[in-house]
Each structure stands twice: as C-alpha cells, then as structure tokens.
A and B are shown apart, each in its own frame.
Chain A
C-alpha cells in the first residue's frame, strides 16, 4: 500500500519551481509608447537632489495616456492640458488670454478669424512654431471632423489658411460667437510639433512623440506607474518655479491619502480624487493645507416636463421648494460642493443676472401641489389625483458615491410633502440610454463647466438626441426658448447676446426644468512647504505653473 521510494517533498518542489519560473517572467514594464525620444535619466540621483531640484510629486488615479493632443481617452485631460498649449487661454470669468496667438481679428460678419501667432516660440525639439505647423495640426483635426463634431467650432470651420509665417486665418460657415472660447479647450485644438506626427500626418491613432511648445517635457515614463516631466528651459512664457513634476499612478483614493501622510506625494488635487470624508479629516488634522476651488460645473436634476406629474408647472415648482439643498451639500459633500440656486453658476460668462432663488419651504411646496390638484387623502401618506398616487422616479448612477446618498435624502424630503419617490440606481451606460430617451422623471446630470459653458449648455438643450430637448417638450414656450438658444450662438453684439442669455436662463429658472443642487469644485491638499497653489479658472487645466516648493 505504501510506496516508500517516491520523492517526499514533490508537491512543494513543484510549487517552488513554478514560483521561480513565473517570478523570472516578471520584468519592469518600461514602455516607451508616448515618446520615442524620451531620454531616461538616473532616478537615483534625481531623488537625492529632490529638495534642491524642487520636485513636486503628485498622485493621479490613472496613467497619463499617450499624450496625443488630438485624441480622447485613454489620454488624461489634465496631462494634455498641462502639456500642450492653445491659441487662446481661458481666464477668470471667461476672460480670453492670448497664448500661442498674440492677438486676433474677427471680420465684421463674424466668420473670419485671423490669428497673429506669437513669434520666437520653439517646440521642445527646437523647431519653430509657425503657421505651417498650425496648418498641419488643423489638417489632421479636420480630417477627423466627425470624431470632433461635438465641438461647435469644428463643425463650423469651412477653411483654414496660412497667410504668412505668423498669420493664420480660419473661415467659418456661419457666425459662431463661442469660437474663441472653444479655441481654449484641452482637446483637440492644441498643437503638436511637426516631428511628432506619424508619417501619414494623421494623429487619429498615434503620434510619434509628444513634442510641445509648453512649459513641461516628458522625460521618463513607466506605463501605469509613473511619469516624470521636466521643466522646458526654452519655454517662451513664464517658466514654472518647480523644475520637475512626478505623477504617480495611485488608483485607490484611500491609498492616495496614505501616500500623502507618508510623504510619498506632495499634492492631491482634482475633482473627486479622494472621498470627501478623507478631505475633511485631512483638513481637520491640521497637518496639511487644503483648498476648494470656485465652482467649475453644476450638479443638477433634469426635471422631465414631457410626461407624468412634472408636465404641470406647479409640481415642478413644488419640487424646487421641497428639496433641502443646504442639507444635501452639508450632509453628503461636507460643504466641499457649494449649494446651487441656478443651473449655471454666476461666475460663468453671461450668467450673473440676479435670478431669485427658490427658498426651501415645505408649506409653499404643499400648497403648490394642492393647487395642481394633488391632494392628500385622509389617512394616507401619498398624495393622489383622480385616484392615482403621486409617484415619481429618480434615476441615478448606481456606483456614484455622491448621487446615491443624495437620491436617498431627496426621497425623504419629498416624502414630507406626500410625494413617493422611487430611486433607481443604474450603471453609467444604462443611465445614458435612459437620459437619451427621456425615460425618467428626474435624473442626475452635470454641466460641462468652464470653458465649455454656457454655450455648450445651450446647445445640449436645443439639440434633440441627448434627452434634454426631449425633456423640455412639456413647456408652452419650448419653440421660442430653443430658437433663442440657437440665436445666441450666432450673435456678434455683446448686448444682444447678454439679452438672449438673460431670457434663456430666466425661462429655464421660472419653468423649473432643472433642480440645481450644487456646484462641483476642485479640491487640493498639500503640506505647508508647497506654496502659491492657485486653482486655474479652466476646469481641466493644471495649477503647476504657479506652484513653488520651499522646504
């Protein structure tokens, strides 16, 4: 029965062999895809000189991506934003700041934009920034026009021409006032050096290397682990005070907090990068500086006026008075987000028009519902009209850490006025599908933010297909409203534009087709040796150009 001659530790031996073989397979995954010209340097000597060198290390949830200025995911917004430069920059309150274009002229009919390009600007490979390279960039962008059709100005471009070495003209098919704001967006209207283009000149799939006019150059890259940017000492503009930027990929939010506490990173910054609880506890610890930006975008509920109880204005108004937004902002976001009274925050262009906020008042809400014919039968807790209970559905994104608790809080708010709210958590793509088909009563939604709004906001309102236009079909003045939205984008005169925006925002506010909840903000946490941290006005831009380190 027993075979004494067999190897005694055979199974351990097999496992050991297996371990050794597989461990041997593991090699450092140093990929060079974003840059063929990246020169690796000794990281050991770098870390030794970290203090003298003024290196800022920060965490980011994802890899920076291939740094292709004309493409979308997996390119990260922030990396494209810090790396490449636009013709025009977007400043506080929507002010347009000359960047690679020193100045510009607009023809009287509002269709021809002539840009006078900044002279003596060099790319990181030493080549000149001139109208030829601008043309090359526009050629590939326009070759993939369909992909970029979401951006109004690209759909409007009729032709582009290099007038001379430093003059570039863009002709639009129609007048389109937000053209200048849209030249400030992060992608795809930024400029890659000629040598970075693939041989066929089309950057739709890949670039050869990330050649930029910007203040940073990628010098080291390990995919999914870390990227090192070094200051471009030939940069034409104000050079950053720090000379090296290390971006470590840390996917887990709590691990990011631990990394900051350990001193592995010097900055946590961005939108939703750590839980709001962690933000508050880091702030309360007293060990770190914290900052919250001005509103960068809005969080709201879309109220579907095309069907069900919300077809009645009084029911929509009752909702505005019944939801305790202050409690939502305090309880769910720890005041990191700011309470919103209007769908577009007043720090956005054309939005500061003094709309009167709806106050939180349950009695007003109840009487509005009574007026609408939804009354509370004795002994019941849900209002009824013609024997039908007042039931509505709120669709939210299931895994979202903010939307879910907010939905629950709104549910209990509405219960107090006799409205039964069903909250339905769905996955992101299903939520998008329900939005597009206007298959909801209430749905969480966010605006695009700076520099896209308010013009992008109005175009998503009047264009069918996104679900917002569909949800506004219950409005008596819908045609007039949507016409005003189309007209405002074609205006040349500032006063006329303001007048139209005032009318649009007023109608949306009075008709209560949005329930603004809060304004999203960026947060930052850093130790006190990080100085002069300042949030950029642009939602997707980075604060690295002003930061200093003084240890």
Chain B
C-alpha cells in the first residue's frame, strides 16, 4: 500500500509540472521576434504583402489576444484536441499519432538493446576487474562516449546496408528497419550503463551483506544476481529514466539519416515553420515523457528498495 501511495503521490505532482511547462512554452513562443504568419509566407515563397499577412493571421487565429489564445488552447487540450497545424492544416493529434509510435518503438528498442548488452557486460567487467573483458568494456565505453552519432549511423549504413545489403537504407515499415537506428542510439547508452553498473557492483561487493552471504555459503553468481544487482542497478535505472524522455524527444539526427518519419524531424520542421500548435503540443508531450520517464525510474527504484517509500511516508 505504501508503494501505491507513493506512486499516486508522484502522479499528482505531475500535474503542476505539466501545466507549468505548457504555460512557459506558450509564453516563450509568443515572445519570439518572428511573426508566424510571415514565416508561413516566406516558407511558401510568397511575397509577404500586407494583405497576405493579414489573411494568414486571421486564418491562424493570431489576431486574438494572448490570453484568449492560451485559454482556447487549454480548453482544447482538456478535450484532447491539440489544435490544427498551421502548415499541414491537419489536426496535430493526427500528425503526432502517425509519428509517436515510430519514435516510441525506436526509444524503447534502443533502451532494450542497451540493457541486454550493458548488463552482462557490466557484470562481467566487475567480476573480471582489470582482465580482458573489463578492458574491452572500457574501450567500448570510450568509443561510445566519443563517436558522434551521425558518424556511427553513416558507418553502419555504408557497411551493413550499402556494401553487405543486410539492412534497408530507409523507412520504418518492419522491425528490420529499426535495427540499425536502435543500435546507433543504444551505442552511447551501452557505454554509460555498463560502466555505471560495474562501478555500482564493485561498490556493493564491499558491503557487509555480501560478506554474510558468502558466510552462508552462497556462490558468487547467486550473490551477484540475487542480492548485489538490485542495489547496483539503481544508478542505471535513474539514467535510463532520464534517457527515456530524451529518446522520446526524437533522435533528430538518427531519424533523419535513417529516413524515419518520427517526432524529431517533424518537430524540427515545425520550429522552422513557426508552427505554434505543433511546437506547443510537442513541448507538452516531451514534458510528460520526461516526467513519466523519471517517475518510472523512481517507481522501479522504490520497488527494488522499499526504504525509499518509507522515507517519503515519514516526510508527510
């Protein structure tokens, strides 16, 4: 029950954060020195005559007051209506619905790949500290931290797609289209997670409970898997929670290079077009993704380590 109360409490705290984010975003956009009506005209290669600007302003609802625009937007949001994109003239909800699944799949699959590779690697390099596997993991960590994502993406495309023809170059139709982009995104994460886990494991191995466990005659394998890992994994969970939001924000470069019509490219385009309804909705969704990512990390942490919820409850 404590755990549930903790989760509910955290969920309630999300609301002010998200409302605040929506207002700040709305305010900042309107403080920008550029008129979206003019931006629309110049992107369309239309000479911005006064009549044309007035026509576009009226059409986009930009001639109304700030509060009227904000109020209208909030009212729409309550009804799950994200407004109509200035550019595509389609409902923003529909535009996002087409792109969010692609970005979400990419985000989750890259986190999955990162976990599947970094956890065994982290454990192995902790158990075999300063042996070959540890050195390999260290080199991988250096590479992951230093190779620019776009370069890795081009290398993978050039060798695995153009030369060997194992993977498609572009698109997001089937799972095979996700392999290279997910791996590109996961590469940097693997480096971070495996080193975090290694450090956590080495630290936990010094704890008294490991000594007791050894005294009880448990094997190293059992100690690691059953007892140490749940402590050592915590920093990795925290990092993954933060990364989840970031990955949902759309890996702009990776999406562009692999021609995946996800959130990143779409958002970039809408910033370029000053497409207010899209930018606002996007920022809101990102705020939610970050909050949910962190929440998920905290909830998993609390589940792994019940002491965390006890502290919260004491504080109330």
Identify the A interface with B (CB < 8 A).
1-2, 4, 8, 10-12, 14-16, 18-19, 22-23, 25-29, 31, 33, 66, 72-74, 77, 144, 146-150, 204-206, 223-225, 248-252, 254-255, 258-259, 261-262, 264, 428-430, 432-433, 448, 460, 465-466
Question: Hey, which chain A residues are within 8 Å of B51, CB to CB?
Answer: 146, 149
Q: What's the least CB distance linking B49 to chain A, in Å?
A: 5
Min CB distance A270 to B, Å, is: 15
Q: Is the CB of A4 within 8 A of B226?
A: yes
Q: Which of B79-115 contact A (CB under 8 A)?
A: 87-90, 98-99, 101-102, 104-105, 108-109, 111-112, 115
> By the criterion CB–CB under 8 Å, are B101 and A25 in contact?
yes
Mark B104-143 against chain A: 1 for CB-CB distance below 8 A, else 0: 1100110110010000000000000000000000000000
Contact residues of B with A, CB < 8 Å?
33-34, 38-40, 42-52, 54-56, 59, 87-90, 98-99, 101-102, 104-105, 108-109, 111-112, 115, 154, 157-158, 161-162, 165, 169-173, 175, 209, 213, 225-227, 233, 237, 256-259, 261, 265, 272-274, 300, 303-304
A28–B52 CB distance below 8 A: no
Q: What is the CA–CA distance of A75 and B165 in the complex, to the nearest angstrom?
A: 33
Tell me the bound Cα distance from A430 to B108 in angstroms.
Answer: 38
Contact B169 A28 (CB under 8 A): no
Q: Check if B257 sits within 8 Å of A430, measured CB to CB.
A: no
For residue A323, give the distance in angstroms from its CB to the closest CB of chain B.
Answer: 27
State A28–B45 Cα separation when bound (angstroms).
32
Asked if A252 contacts B257 (CB within 8 A), the reply is yes
CB distance from A252 to the nearest CB of B (A): 5
Q: Are B108 and A19 in contact (CB under 8 A)?
A: yes
Question: Please, which residues of chain B bring their CB within 8 A of the CB of A429?
Answer: 33-34, 38-39, 42, 274
> A429-B42, A430-B34, A433-B34 are known contacts. Are A254 and B154 too (CB-CB below 8 A)?
yes
* Interface residue from B171, B175, B237, B256 paired with A251 (Cβ < 8 Å): B256
Report the separation of the CA atoms of residues A26 and B115 in the bound assembly, to the nearest whole angstrom: 21
Q: Which residues of B contact A15 (CB under 8 A)?
A: 111-112, 115
Secondary structure call for the A interface: loop
Q: Which B residues are CB-close (under 8 A) to A2?
A: 209, 213, 227
Residues of chain A with a CB closer than 8 A to B209's CB: 1-2
| Contact between chains at A72 and B46 (CB < 8 Å) | yes
Whether B39 and A225, one on each chain, are in contact in the complex, defined by CB atoms closer than 8 angstroms, is: no
- Distance in angstroms between the alpha carbons of A414 and B195 in the assembled complex: 53
Contact of A149 among B43, B52, B170 (CB under 8 A): B52
The one of B102, B272, B304 that contacts A26, using a Cβ cutoff of 8 Å: B102
Q: Are B50 and A465 in contact (CB under 8 A)?
A: yes
Contact A10 to B108, CB < 8 A, known contacts A248-B170, A262-B169, A429-B38: no
Bound complex: CA A223 to CA B102 (Å): 13
Q: Which residues of A have CB within 8 Å of B304?
A: 10-11
C-alpha gap A31/B94 in the complex (Å) = 10
Chain B residue with minimal CB distance to A432?
B42
Secondary structure call for the B interface: helix
Q: Within 8 Å CB of A448, what residues of B? A: 45
Give the shortest distance, in Å, between B251 (CB) and chain A (any CB).
Answer: 13
Q: A73-B44, A149-B52 are in contact. Are A255 and B157 (CB under 8 A)?
A: yes
Query: A433: which B residues are within 8 A, CB to CB?
Result: 33-34
Are the C-beta atoms of B90 and A33 separated by less than 8 Å? Answer: yes
Partner of A249 from the list B47, B111, B259 (CB cut-off 8 Å) is B259
A262-B162, A430-B33 known; A465 and B42 CB under 8 Å? no
- Nearest opposing residue in chain B for A23, CB measure: B105
Say yes or no: A22-B104 contact (C-beta < 8 A), given A15-B115, A146-B52, A149-B52.
yes
Cβ-neighbour of A460 out of B40, B47, B89 (below 8 A): B47
Q: Quick check: A12 and B158 within 8 Å, CB to CB?
A: no
A224 vs B44: C-alpha distance when bound (angstroms): 19
Which of B40, B170, B171, B209 has the most CB atoms of chain A within a 10 A radius of its CB? B170
Q: A14 to B300, Cβ gap below 8 A?
A: yes
Specify the chain B residue showing the minimal Cβ separation from A4. B226
CA distance A149 to B213 in the complex (A): 82
CB of B258 within 8 A of CB of A255, answer: yes
Chain B residues, CB < 8 A from A25: 101, 104-105
A47 CB → nearest B CB, Å: 13
Least Cβ–Cβ distance between B298 and chain A, in angstroms: 13
Residue of B nearest to A72 (CB): B44
**In the complex, what residues of B have CB within 8 A of residue A249's CB?**
259, 261
- Roughly how many angstroms separate A453 CA and B184 CA in the complex, as a whole number? 47
The smallest beta-carbon distance between B201 and chain A, in angstroms, is 15
- Apart from A72-B46, A258-B158, what 13 extra A-B contacts exist at CB < 8 Å? A23-B105, A27-B101, A29-B101, A73-B43, A146-B55, A147-B46, A149-B49, A225-B171, A248-B170, A254-B154, A429-B42, A432-B42, A460-B47
Q: Inside 8 A of A144's CB, which chain B residues have their CB?
A: 55
Interchain nearest-CB distance for A411 vs B (Å) = 26
Residues of A contacting B90 in the complex (Cβ-Cβ under 8 angstroms) = 33
The answer to whether B88 touches A261, judged by C-beta atoms less than 8 angstroms apart, is: no
**For residue A29, which residue of chain B has the nearest CB?**
B98
Tell which of A66, A77, A206, A429 has the most Cβ of chain B within 10 Å.
A429
Hey, which chain B residues are within 8 Å of A10, CB to CB? 300, 303-304
User: In the bound complex, what is the Cα–Cα distance between A144 and B109 (angstroms)?
Assistant: 47
Question: Is there contact, CB below 8 Å, between A23 and B44?
Answer: no
Which residue, B43, B209, B213, has most C-beta atoms of chain A within 10 A? B43
Closest to A250 in B: B259
Shortest beta-carbon distance from B288 to chain A in Å: 15
Q: B52, A147: Cβ atoms under 8 Å?
A: yes
Given contacts A254-B257, A433-B33, contact A150 B52 (CB under 8 A): yes
| Contact status A26-B42, CB under 8 Å | no
- Contact B44–A11 (Cβ < 8 Å): no
Q: Give the docked Cα–Cα distance between A428 and B43 (Å).
A: 10
Task: Establish whether residues A11 and B170, one from each chain, have CB atoms under 8 Å apart when the complex forms.
Answer: no
Please, how many angstroms separate the alpha-carbon atoms of A255 and B225 in the complex?
43
Q: Which one of B101, B258, B274 contacts A22 once the chains associate, using CB atoms below 8 Å? A: B101
The chain A residue with its CB closest to the CB of B254 is A252
- Contacts A2-B227, A8-B225, A23-B109: A150 and B261 contacting too (C-beta < 8 A)? no
A428–B32 Cα gap in the complex (Å)? 13
B257 contacts A223, C-beta separation under 8 Å: no
